[in-house]
Every structure is written in C-alpha cells, then in structure tokens.
C-alpha cells in the first residue's frame, strides 16, 4: 500500500493534535519523553484517532530533536525517543494506517533559536532515526521560517525517496512571515521535491480555506491542510480551545473543493474533530480541476512620505565627518523643564543627535518616544530613540515602531535592555519576545514595508538602526563576533558602552579596524569618586581602571574639583578616540548637561585641529 498512490485515488484523513490531549490530561513537560516513560498513554491517543477514522497518524516526535530536547536535559536521548515513537505508532497503526515521521520546525517565529548549521545537524540526526525505523513518509510541520523549511527539505530529499509532506505556518491568511505569498512558497517546495505541500497550525478552518482559494492544483504535489481548532483562550493559567467538532464537519467538503488531498487537525483538535471530518467528507474522490480565485491586487508598498524631508542620517554623517551624539535621559518625574533646557543647550553646542534611553536600568521614565517627538518639534534636534526588548511584546514592539515612523522619528538604537530585577520594581516581568538581533531584523523588515507576520504595511519605513557594542569584556574577540552577527542582522552602526581606558579604545580599534561599519565610542564623564565606584562595582558592562578611580578619589568631597577631574579624564579619552574613530557618544550623568556641553565644545575644537592638519597634509602632497 503506497501513500501517494492511495492519495491520488481518495482523500485521506490525518490525525489531530497529540500535545493538546496530553496537555488536557495534565502533562505539561516534554511530550516526546512520554514515548519512553508512558508509552501506553501515547499508544491510546494514536488508537483513539484511528478509531475516529484517521487514515494517517504521525509519530510523537514533533520536538524530538537535539536542540529542543536539550531544554529538558534529554539531548542524549534523541535516538531512543524517536525509535520508541515509531514503534508505538506502528503498533497502533497495524496494516491499514499510514505512519508519518514528524519533524517540527525549530525556529518557530524566532530565528535566534539555533544557527543554520546547528539545525542541519539536529535535523539529520532525527531524520536518520525515523528512516531507520521505516516510516511511511515524513511530515515537516509548523515551519514559520521558510528558509529553515527549504533547508531541511533539501536534506531530506537527498536522503530518502519516501513521500515528504511540507506544511508551512502563517500568522496571516495567505502570506508567510517573510512576506512571501502562500502560492509562491508551495510552488518552491514542490520544485524542491516535496510530494505533498500545505499549511498547518496557528489558523483555524476559516482562514486556512481562505488561504487556499488562490492556490491552484499543483503540477505534481498534492495539497494538505491541518487547521487549528480555533484561536486559543486562556483561563486559570491554562490554554483551551472552544471550537465544537461539528464546525470541522462543515469544512470537510469545502477543503475537498479547494483541492486538498490530506485533511487533519493541529492544535486544539481531538478525535472528535477527526470524526467530524470523516462524517463531513461524503465524497472521497479528489477533484481534478479547480476554480481558482483571482488574487487580490497587492497593495503597493510606497516609500515613506517623510524620507525626502529628513536630514542626513547619522550613518551618512559619521561616514563623512566626525560626529557627536549625546544621551540625555527623559525624567523619572513629570517636571520636564531641565530636560528641555539641556536639550536646547546641546543643540546649540552642535551635537548631531540627542539620544534617549528606554527606561535605563529598568527604571520608569517619561516615554522616550514622546520626549523625542517634542525634542524634534520644540528644539529642532535629531532624536535617537533607544528600543529595548524588555518592556514590549512582539505586538507592542510593532505598534511602537509604527508610531515612531508616524512621528517622523527614524534614528533607532536596538538593545536588549537591563533586566527588570535591577530596577525600581523587581516584581515587574521582562518580556524578551525577541532578542536584539531579531529586533534589528524586525526594524529592517519594516523598512521593506512588511510586518513580522508578513502582512504589508503599505508604506516602507526609513529607520536607521544602531546597535550596542560592549567592549568592556575579558574576551574582546567574542564581543567583536557578536558585533559582526549584528551587522549580518542589519545594524547600520554601533554605540559602545562607556570606556574609561585609552588602552581599551586602541584595543577596540585594532579589533575592529577590518569592519567598515562605523562605531561611536561611549564617553561618560564621572561626577565624583562615589559615582566612579558605583559604576565600576554595580553597573553591568562598565569597568573603570584603577588609575581613573584613584584620580577621582583624590577629589572626593569637592564637587568642583570632582567635576574638573571627571572632565579631564573624559577629554583624555576623547583625544585618543578621535584619532581612531569618527563617532563620539557622550552620556550625560545625572542631567549634568553642562558637562556634556563642555565636552561637545572640546570635541569641536579638537576636530577643527584635526581637519586643519589633514588639509595641510593634503596640500603638501599636492604641492
């Protein structure tokens, strides 16, 4: 009995969710481990789906790969778990039910989980385990990252001739999260050798059917669909699905009319949903012709209306000449007088941008987007807004980005953010839906006019993205590797943590001179010996030299002398930084903008000397 030959003759019914049933029974650990610890429980679920009418069941191996099992300390049990899973499924299937070896996506909607090479190794290991046990086909399901799916499909197709089913997952009907349309994705999968192509997870029957309306019958591959029961609800700490099985019955013939040859269920579905599909599918013969709905005219993605009126970006500026940006944090209270006084003074001093942190040290301040908008309107200065991964989930981040674009704020710094535990509210939670790498990628995707879900924004944003670089580490080479990965993610330039050593500045130059991406060197003037000791001992990512701490200690208790010494230390650092870098990033301590104004004026003076010297050298060469 051949799976593909059978599907060409009649539409087959797949099974439903394994995890949903295990979860409903109180299992909230590693579902795949149950193949070893509770095989009878897994067997009963397989049998329940077969009794409901499933022609195909899938092994309990969705996350049975090295990367995902490592989260549970089971990375050395990949072979045992996959082998047991196939044996259990085969025991339930007998001779009349097909068994698919399931391999789930690793990235999901997050590309930071596992590198491409790690995913390849992990996939091959699981693939060989399933093939050795003799599955009837492979099911590659729940792949939001299309690049990951095409990567593993190529590997699988090279290793086996058995049928391969590839199911993509979408946040929005008809479009993948990278913006590619479903029909284009399915055609690419067919071209790469998939025998059955389709969709699963996230969406219910309604949106999956809508997604298939514009998908024609494929030249060679068959179509599959595994919808969720519904969107999940959340009550008393548990997820639940409210969809009635009879709802699935209504869609069975509609899926046939859409050209589907394999219909199953994903999250939230149970044997009752499969029974409903069997009941509703009154004709099993696959259709040979399909009336395809014309694709809606794609909304044109236009360039930002603000782009033409924007001044040169900081990237353009720092590539042409020495540039100064100054951080001036929004107040922790509602009295904004001194802030705008400082912003005006910095603007008058000639800074290229005023940067605003995003609740630095996890302490609530006035929204930096609001203050940035006012800085632009009232002061006429360019704002550089920091965005952390800590405070907003993926929905909030996208909303925030759209808001910043609408306000005409285009200079952004994407950072992870200090954990909430160090702030004023240790009971608050950190979100971290994305990493700083993924945030950079998200912002760049917005510049293409595409949201995270792949939906058109109808307009391209024009963000320039800075990223953080912390050179105050023991192994600078590793920090540089991280910097290079951020460049791959799309970072346009970098801003460092404050540096307090001329030797470190030179070391950073030597370690990064092969990199063309500009770097702004962070300089934060010290205000007192107490300030120096606090930064050195309590603030992550900042280290002072013993010499600097000793110099500040000599003026301890004398505010005027401490200020003078703090400025002298900063100027010595600036002298070295200007010889090696075009960008200087000044951080204003405790709203002491007088200090950063002083340093700004000093930098302009030094730059004038440097420029004059370069002119003389050029004239000498010409002469």
Distance CA 368, CA 417 (A): 14
Distance CA 190, CA 496 (A): 47
> CA nearest 486: which of 446, 435, 430?
435
> CA nearest 282: which of 4, 7, 13?
13
User: What is the DSSP code string of 188-234?
Assistant: HHHHTT-SEEEEESSS-HHHHHHHHTTPPPPSS-EEEEE--SSSPEE
End-to-end C-alpha distance for the chain, whole angstroms: 88
Largest CA distance in the chain: 93
> CA nearest 187: which of 171, 166, 208, 207?
166
> CA nearest 251: which of 295, 217, 203?
203
DSSP-based three-state secondary structure for 481 = helix
Distance CA 88, CA 589 (A): 64
Q: What is the Cβ-side half-sphere exposure of residue 556, based on CA atoms within 13 angstroms?
A: 11
Q: Please give the annotated binding residues, written as ranges.
A: 201, 266-267
List alpha helices for 94-144, DSSP H: 116-132
Q: Please give the annotated binding residues for Zn(2+), written as ranges.
A: 201, 266-267
SS (H, E, C) 482-502: HHHHHHHHCCCEEEEEECCCH
Distance CA 89, CA 43 (A): 7
Distance CA 569, CA 555 (A): 13
Distance CA 270, CA 57 (A): 13
Do residues 266 and 21 make contact, with C-beta atoms less than 8 angstroms apart? no
Do residues 449 and 458 make contact, with C-beta atoms less than 8 angstroms apart? yes
Tell the residue number behind the tokens 């046939």, with chain if given.
256
User: What is the DSSP code string of 400-428?
Assistant: HHHHHHHTT--EEEEE----GGGSS-TTS
User: Sign (positive/negative) of CA torsion 555, 560, 566, 568?
Assistant: negative
What b-and-e string marks burial along 156-177, b requiring 16 or more CB atoms within 10 Å of the CB?
A: beeebebbbbbbbbbbbbbbbb
H/E element holding 102?
Answer: strand 98-104
Q: What is the Cβ-side half-sphere exposure of residue 203, based on CA atoms within 13 angstroms?
A: 24
Dihedral through CA 419, CA 423, CA 425, CA 431, nearest 10?
Answer: -20
Structure tokens at 93: 């299937």
Tell the residue number behind the tokens 């699981």, with chain if given.
126
Distance CA 530, CA 497 (A): 19
């Amino acid at each position: 009995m051949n799976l593909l030959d059978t599907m060409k003759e009649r539409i087959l019914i797949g099974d439903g969710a394994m995890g949903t049933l295990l979860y409903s029974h109180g299992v909230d650990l590693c579902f795949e481990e149950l193949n070893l610890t509770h095989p009878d429980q897994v067997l009963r679920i397989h049998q329940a789906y077969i009794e409901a009418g499933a022609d195909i069941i899938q092994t309990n191996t969705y996350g049975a790969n090295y990367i995902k099992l490592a989260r549970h300390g089971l990375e050395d049990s990949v072979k045992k778990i996959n082998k047991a899973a196939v044996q259990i499924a085969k025991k339930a299937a007998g001779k009349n039910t097909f068994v698919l070896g399931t391999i789930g996506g690793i990235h999901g909607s997050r590309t930071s989980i596992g590198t491409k090479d790690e995913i390849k190794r992990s996939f091959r290991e699981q693939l060989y385990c399933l093939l050795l046990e003799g599955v009837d086909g492979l099911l590659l399901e729940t792949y939001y990252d299309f690049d990951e799916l095409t990567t593993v499909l190529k590997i699988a197709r090279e290793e086996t001739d058995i049928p391969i089913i590839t199911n993509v997952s979408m946040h929005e009907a008809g479009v993948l999260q990278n913006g590619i349309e479903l029909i284009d994705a399915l055609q690419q999968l067919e071209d790469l050798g998939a025998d059955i192509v389709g969709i699963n997870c996230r969406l219910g029957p309604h949106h999956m059917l809508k997604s298939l309306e514009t998908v024609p019958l494929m030249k060679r591959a068959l179509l599959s669909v595994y919808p969720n029961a519904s969107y999940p609800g959340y009550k008393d700490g548990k997820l639940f699905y409210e969809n009635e099985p009879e709802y699935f019955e209504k869609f069975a013939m509609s899926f046939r009319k859409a050209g589907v040859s394999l219909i199953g269920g994903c999250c939230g579905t149970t044997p009752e949903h499969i029974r409903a599909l069997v009941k509703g599918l009154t004709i099993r013969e696959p259709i040979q012709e399909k009336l395809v709905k014309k694709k809606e005219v794609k909304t044109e993605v236009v360039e930002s209306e603000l782009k033409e009126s924007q001044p040169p970006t900081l990237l353009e500026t720092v590539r042409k000449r020495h540039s100064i940006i100054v951080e001036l944090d929004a107040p922790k209270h509602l009295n904004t007088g001194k802030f705008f006084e400082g912003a005006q003074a910095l603007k008058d001093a000639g800074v290229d941008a005023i940067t605003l942190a995003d609740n630095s040290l996890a302490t609530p301040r006035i929204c930096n987007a609001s203050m940035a908008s006012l800085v632009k309107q009232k002061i006429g200065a360019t704002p550089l807004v920091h965005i952390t991964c800590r405070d907003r989930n993926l929905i909030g981040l996208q909303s925030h980005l759209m808001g910043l674009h609408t306000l005409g704020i285009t200079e952004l710094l994407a950072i992870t953010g200090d954990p909430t535990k160090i702030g004023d509210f240790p009971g608050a939670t950190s979100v971290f839906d994305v990493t700083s790498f993924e945030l950079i990628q998200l912002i760049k995707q917005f510049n293409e006019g595409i949201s995270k879900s792949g939906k058109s924004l109808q307009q391209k944003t024009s963000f320039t993205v800075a990223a953080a670089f912390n050179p105050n580490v023991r192994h600078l080479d590793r920090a540089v590797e991280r910097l290079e990965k951020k460049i791959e993610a799309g970072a346009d330039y970098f801003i460092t943590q404050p540096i307090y050593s001329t030797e470190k500045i030179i070391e950073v130059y030597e370690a990064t001179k092969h990199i063309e991406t500009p770097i702004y060197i962070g300089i934060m003037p010290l205000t007192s010996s107490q300030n120096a000791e606090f930064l050195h001992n309590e603030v992550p990512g900042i280290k002072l030299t013993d010499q600097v701490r000793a110099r500040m200690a000599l003026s301890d208790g004398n505010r005027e002398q401490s200020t003078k010494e703090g400025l002298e230390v900063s100027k010595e650092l600036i002298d070295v930084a200007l010889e090696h870098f075009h960008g200087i990033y000044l951080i204003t301590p405790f709203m002491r903008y007088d200090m950063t104004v002083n340093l700004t004026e000093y930098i302009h003076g030094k730059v004038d000397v440097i420029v004059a010297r370069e002119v003389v050298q050029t004239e000498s060469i010409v002469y």
